[in-house]
Each structure stands twice: as structure tokens, then as C-alpha cells.
Amino acid sequence: MFTFNNFFIMIHHTFHKAVKYSSLIMIAIILILAGLLFWNFQSTKANSVDDYQLTGWIWSKYYSWVSLNSKNCQNNPSCSENQSYAVRKATTGEIYGWGWSAYLGWVCFGSTCITDATNICNDQPGCNPSAFGTVTPLGGWKISVDNNEAMFGWAKILSMGDQGWISFGGVPSSSLSVYPVCYNCSPACVSWKPSSTPPLCLKFSTSTYDNCKTCFSTGKLDGIPLPLGTSPDLAVVGGSGKLSFNCKGTAGSVCRTVESSISGAKRIECDVCSSTNAFGSGINTEDGSLIGWAWNANAESKDIGGGWFHLNVDYGNAGILYPWLETNYGSIYGKNDIRQKGTLGKTNATYCIFAKDISGVNSGNCDVIGVNLDFPISSSTNVYRNALGKIDVKGLENVLSCTGKTCYNKYGNEIVSATKLGGQLSLDNKVYVSASDLTIGSGLVFDNGAKYGNGTIIVNGNLIINNNFSYVPLGGITDLNRLASAAWIVKGDVIINGNVTSTVGAFVVLGKDGAVLQAESGSLTDDYPKYKKTDYGVVFSSSSNNPLTVYGLLVARAFDFRRTFADPIQGSERIIYDGRIIANPPPGFKGFVEGLPVMKDF
């Protein structure tokens, strides 16, 4: 997807399913990244900032692709449609907006079919809205997602008039004896906390499930039989055939994971469901992908029309675009689990992702499960060590000698009070120490030095970032000692204001000794848990619809990422490793970066 250099990134990311993994607190994160991309989105309808875009394509056997987002074209040189459009999912569960097909033209979804058809026609020379039909389908123009994550309602191919209806839900049908492809499943508890009220699960199963909200029969819907000997799980990506709801195992048992003898792929299988439809579609909440099928045919002839529209093909990858973490020029490391909602095939990290377990994230080259990397641990001498090396915080901030009013640490670095930082500042190989919380307002720019451009800022408290700050351009310098290179050592939390879109530096967020990580009340039921500010060593990106980019490196005990910005091209929080910590290590960081790979080019 992008071009990157070979660097490592380590991350402790809190994007895990708290209901399933509340006992798995991810510790020891470091991100190192680099790269730069941009995004922007708009719609033909007024949208809530909380509405999510859909992206990717759905597939018709007879009419090929229907694009759900104009931004699909940004990574597809053969896609030349220059209109701006998107299908969206509202927080109410409604699906609405516009799709586009090179063969069919505009496809409206749900309520958009009655509110915007005339407007979209006016944008097209020679387009006549009266040709699009006037009949309203049973139930009205609406697509919604129910409590089972199933989709019901209608879209419309405008060029086909009253024959262009696309149905996302089927009529009731008889139940089957087995449902071999199931989604939206609740894992069974294998270990309960004794005498807990309400009951508290200590450990969830990874192979058995109490129930699944939606299950498919996996039969082909276009009349083409499966190849002889093909396992059912290979039939169709996303499920097909009849769609059933509220599924469980047989009496006294649970739904279970089944592995294909042919491909090794795993699927979840249930036996008993409360109701069944002849066909249907829905959302896989694990990664936001669309699943199942929709149907269009001429009312007078079942053989004329678009036929079956497949909502999830492995090369179409249609689904909801959630906010996602992006790291450029490196890999990701986590001590325990790294989890987030899926990014529909987008690359979270340039190279590998290493963790105890990985879910919903993708790397450019590989994912490696079973890696354990400890967060830097402080000894009694206040020297923090881990696999990357060490940082002697005490040695950096303590005064060893003074000449007049100028004082130095044991490494010979001048120590300067950092009660306030602002303006254009050359760090000059100094150590800046704040005795308590430090707030960064507007106007901070790190300059390349006359002799040295590197420096370390130690914050004995929280670092509060209220505005963007940056490096000056390189300006043709040839001596890397002059290169601006900032490091932040924070003995508390890093709190980034929601209006901030760009920061720079290598951040090592150690937290306060003895501080405890605490979740906000009720947040453990969220997909992305929210934490309290307890000085534990958390990076808070703050709630905002702005994207956040950090140029440098992050080491933190936990991340509370709340940006809602979502786009197919750029992550909501993006960390770009710029190589400065290796090119010109700030005071105290030479030993820390010895464990990093050598930079290939700069």
C-alpha cells in the first residue's frame, strides 16, 4: 500500500474487546513509524459526525462491481469516477447514501432514495429523475440493522426505475439441521470468579460459544453447484444460503469452532436457531465487514435484473470503515494482545505485528503471535530497562556540578528548567526538566541547532498538549548533530487536546510509580475501553473528529485513542517514525536505541 523504510514499532494499544478480554491489559507499547497521507470525506446528505462510511465493493454476477465509496478510486488507477459519494451507517443503525456502478449508474440506499434522487440527477447532464420510478416498496425506503446485526430494507438502481429494487432481507423459511457459518458470536466462559454478583468471567473460551446472532447455510445461491469434495466453509466468503438468527448448540452444548480439512480455515458452527429467512445480509461486528447477499430481479421475470449481489467477496472487501490505528515505517510490538476493529484490509503497520495475540490489525508483511516484550522497568536507581536498552532518568535530571548559574548532569548535559516551552527553540543537547505538569500551548517549533539540535524534556507529572508543534525544515544541513531531535520522558500521562492534529518527538511515557490503571465507569462494555487519568502512563488522544499524527516514536503503558475520524486512506491516529532518534539521539537515548535496527536510508 505504501513505501516504507525498515524500522520497528512497538505499541500497547487498548483497542481490544473488553467484554471478551477484560483481563488482558496490554502493557509495553512502542510505536515507531513514518509516512504521510491525507484524507477528507463528504456526502450528498447531512451527516452526523458519528456516522460511519462504508467502503469497498459489492459484486453482481451480471453487472460487475458496485462501489460503496468514491474513495475506492484513490487506490485503484482504473477507477475514474470523479463524483463524491459514500454509503453510510448511522448510529441509529440506518444504512443510507449512494453507490456507483459503471454499468448500472447510481444506486441509492434506504432513505436516500426519496430525499436525494432529484439532486443527484441534476448533477448529471441529460438525467431525467422521472425515469427512475415512483413506486415505494413495502415498508418504505429504509435499510436498517437490527439487534442481530442483520440488514433489512431496500436499495434502488435508479436507471432501472421500478424494476431496480434491491432487497437486503429474505422472506421467512424453514429451519435447517445445521448452520455451519456463524457470525457475531459470544464466547463461552470457562472460568468464573467465585461468589461474584453479578457473575464475572475470568477467562473466555477461544473455541466454543454460547450463541451466535447470525448463521448461514453456506449453499451457493446462483445455482452453480459446489465443486466435488469442496468443504462448506470454502463455498463463499461471508456466508450464503439461508440466514438464521439467535443460534445455539444442541441442548446442553455450545456452538463450536470447526477447522476445514481442506484449507485449514476456521468457522463457527451452531445447531439450533430461533428463526430463518430464505436469504439475507448483515454486518460482522468483529471487523465491520458486510456479510451475505442482496437480491434484484425484474418483477415480471425472475431471470432479468441484477440477480444476486454478494456483499463480501475476498477481493471486494465491503464493510464499515471504523477509526483505525496507522503506523508507518515500522512494525508493532505488544506484550499481550493487540486488538481493534478490523480495517477492511488496510495496513496498520509497515512491517510485522508482534504480540501474544492479534485481532483486527494487519501488517504490510507479517503478523507474529507469541512475542512478549516488557515495558521499560524502573530499578531502585531509576534506570528504565527493556529489550531496547536503558534510559537513566535519574542520571539525566539530577545536577552533578554547576559553573556559576549553569548546572550539568553526570553526562555533561546542561540542565535547564522547563516551566514553559514555546517559540522557535534549539534544544542544544540540553536536558529540560519540569518539576510538575507541563503544558504545551501554541508556537513551539524545534529548530536545527548551530552546533547541536537534539534535546530531552523530562516531565515530572503530566504532559498536556494543547496545540500543534513541529520541527523546522531540514534546510540543507549536512551535519546530523545539528538535526532537530526531541525526546520526551513523562512521569505521568500524555494528554493531547482534541484540536491537535500534529506533534513531534520520541515520547517515553513511564507514568508515576504506584499509579493504577483504571477504566472509566461503564467503559469496559465498549469495544474500545476508556481510561481515567491516574498518572499511570497513558497516551490520551481525546475525543475529536480530527486525525492525529505523531512524527516520532511512542512508548507508553497504555493508549486511550478516541479520535472518530475514519477514512479509507489514513488512520484516525497515525504515528510516523521520522528516524531522528537514531540519526541524532537526544541525551540519554543512545543506549535506548541500540536495540533498534540500523537505518537503511535517511
- The pLDDT of residue 118: 57
pLDDT surpassing 50 at residue 233: no
- β-sheet bridge partners, residue 454: 485
pLDDT surpassing 50 at residue 244: yes
- The pLDDT of residue 342: 63
User: Mean per-residue pLDDT for 84-113?
Assistant: 90
With b meaning 16 or more CB within 10 Å and e meaning fewer, what string describes 498-514?
A: bebbbbbbbbbbbbbee
- The pLDDT of residue 509: 92
pLDDT surpassing 90 at residue 9: no
Q: Which residue has the higher pLDDT, 129 or 537?
A: 537
pLDDT surpassing 50 at residue 219: yes
Cβ–Cβ < 8 Å for 214, 148: yes
Best CA proximity match to 43, nearest among 69, 66, 65, 67: 69
pLDDT surpassing 60 at residue 585: yes
- E strands present in 297-422: 307-310, 319-320, 325-328, 332-334, 337-339, 352-355, 357-359, 366-369, 377-378, 383-386, 389-392, 401-403, 406-408, 414-417
**What is the DSSP code (8-state) at residue 19?**
H
- Mean pLDDT lowest for which of 20-34, 413-427, 460-474? 20-34
- The pLDDT of residue 387: 61
Strands ordered across the beta sheet of 470-471 = 424-426, 445-447, 470-471
Cβ–Cβ < 8 Å for 341, 14: no
Cα 322 to Cα 241, 447, 560: the distances in Å are 28, 37, 16
Cα 454 to Cα 33, 252, 414, 432, 480: the distances in Å are 19, 65, 12, 11, 10
Per DSSP, helices labelled H in 345-409 are 393-397
Give percent of the chain above pLDDT 70: 74
pLDDT surpassing 90 at residue 587: yes
- Cβ neighbours of residue 522 under 8 Å, at least 6 residues apart? none
Distance from C-alpha of 376 to C-alpha of 555, rounded to nearest angstrom: 9
pLDDT surpassing 80 at residue 128: no
Q: Strands 332-334 and 29-32: what pairing?
A: antiparallel
Q: Which residue has the higher pLDDT, 230 or 174?
A: 174
Mean pLDDT, the chain, integer: 78
Distance from C-alpha of 361 to C-alpha of 501, rounded to nearest angstrom: 23
Phi-psi region of 108 (alpha: psi -120 to 50; beta: other; left: phi over 0): beta
Distance from C-alpha of 50 to C-alpha of 34, rounded to nearest angstrom: 28
pTM across the whole model: 0.78
pLDDT surpassing 50 at residue 505: yes
User: Mean per-residue pLDDT for 384-392?
Assistant: 73
Distance from C-alpha of 200 to C-alpha of 130, rounded to nearest angstrom: 59
- The pLDDT of residue 490: 96
3-state secondary structure of 29: strand
- The pLDDT of residue 124: 53
Phi-psi region of 316 (alpha: psi -120 to 50; beta: other; left: phi over 0): alpha
Q: For residue range 536-569, what is the model confidence (pLDDT) as tens digits?
A: 999 999 999 999 999 998 888 888 999 988 887 8
Handedness of CA 180, 314, 316, 289 (dihedral sign): positive
Q: For residue range 314-342, what is the model confidence (pLDDT) as tens digits?
A: 555 788 888 888 888 867 777 667 777 76
φ, ψ of residue 468 in degrees (nearest 5): -65, 145
**What is the DSSP code (8-state) at residue 16?**
S
Distance from C-alpha of 510 to C-alpha of 490, rounded to nearest angstrom: 6
How far apart, in Å, do the first and last CA atoms of the chain sit? 20
pLDDT surpassing 80 at residue 456: yes
- The pLDDT of residue 373: 63
With b meaning 16 or more CB within 10 Å and e meaning fewer, what string describes 433-467?
A: bbeebbbbeeebbbbbbeebbbbbbbbbbbbbbeb
- β-sheet bridge partners, residue 540: 495, 560
Q: Which residue has the higher pLDDT, 129 or 169?
A: 169
Cβ–Cβ < 8 Å for 326, 573: yes
Domain extents in the chain: 18-33+329-595, 47-169+281-322, 171-279
Q: Which residue has the higher pLDDT, 328 or 263?
A: 328
No. of helices (H) and no. of strands (E), the chain: 5, 46
- The pLDDT of residue 528: 66
- The pLDDT of residue 602: 30
Q: Which amino acid is at 455?
A: G
